[in-house]
Amino acid sequence: MSPKTTKASHGGGRNEALTPGRIVVLALAVLTLVFIFQNTGTVKIRLLIPEVTVPLWTALLAMWVIGVLCGVSFSYFRKRRR
């Protein structure tokens, strides 16, 4: 059995390089790079005893990840109670 090839499977002659999803991903990537380049200064973070010096964007990203994990775990445990 050989797979059937049609024009529809090859894009049908349409230019599918810039789909709405790809445009959104590209815009988010550009905004992320702008955010990183605007926040390259270093900050000192003290957590109990150790003091760490990191770029501001790294600290903000770490706090965002922690926030997302807290939100996901909260919604997970809330669903389990029901």
What's the rounded mean pLDDT across residues 24-45?
A: 91
Residue 8 lies in a domain: no
Which domain does 70 fall in, by range? 41-82
Residue 16 lies in a domain: no
What's the rounded mean pLDDT across residues 35-44?
A: 91
What's the rounded mean pLDDT across residues 65-79?
A: 87
Residue 62 lies in a domain: yes
Whether residue 10 has pLDDT greater than 60: no
* Per-residue pLDDT at 68: 92
Task: State the Cα–Cα distance between residues 62 and 74, nearest whole angstrom.
Answer: 18
Residue 72 lies in a domain: yes
Whether residue 11 has pLDDT greater than 80: no
